[in-house]
Structure 1
Amino acid sequence: MSSSSYAFGPTECKCGLSLMTLTSWTRDNPARRFGVCPNKYKKGIKHCKRWYWNDPELENKWYRTQLYEMHLLLNPSQREELENELTSREELAVLQVEFADMEGQMQQLMEELKKSQKMLSFGSQLR
């Protein structure tokens, strides 16, 4: 792993959005947290591919393997609960971004509506 990819990276993406903190459960990076742009999971827009490790890599392969194996040994209901919780967090982060976008769009529409109302009001005063 290159040292440039490990950092207690920024908390904000170039997009201006706060990075989501997720946890990797791969064999090579078990329980390793990373920050990722919410746009990575958003449909209909150009995907941002920026992400940063928040935790250092476990240098000892034995520790990585043991941690990963312990994760797999959780009883099925605990493992399913953990996976559902992580999925729910990701979905919540995506919904929060979409909500913020919709709020911005609604604000723009409200401003356009006010302008239209002013123009209509001005036009009726001229008559």
Structure 2
Amino acid sequence: MSGVIGWDDFMAVDLRVGRVVSAEPFPQARRPAYILHVDFGPELGVRKSSAQITAHYTPQTLVGRLVVGVVNFPPKQIGPLMSECLVTGFHDADGHVRLCVPDGDVAPGTRLL
């Protein structure tokens, strides 16, 4: 079991709903990945991320899809890409990532509470 955190610790992580506006292969990544451009609404705009989700998704199936991302990490250099957010997901039984997504339509930029 993970360690216990306080409410303030949880609230420090800014998790928001975003809509994938484009996805493309990221051939320079060490492991198979896509470069995602995710729209987090008018307050945050479009942010880039590298996502190792090639086992279950294609660029075509990602565009228009809602995702949940951490938007308050500092930018991170991943090869030639400056990642600006972390798209969240869960490893399945085979170790491949399945995206964490809302189960209905939610406006981009909505914060998880």
The TM-score normalised by the length of structure 1 is: 0.24
User: Structure 1 or 2: larger helix share?
Assistant: 1
Give the number of the structure whose alpha-carbon radius of gyration is greater.
1
Which protein, 1 or 2, shows the higher relative CO under an 8 Å CA cutoff with sep ≥ 6?
2
User: Structure 1 or 2: larger strand share?
Assistant: 2
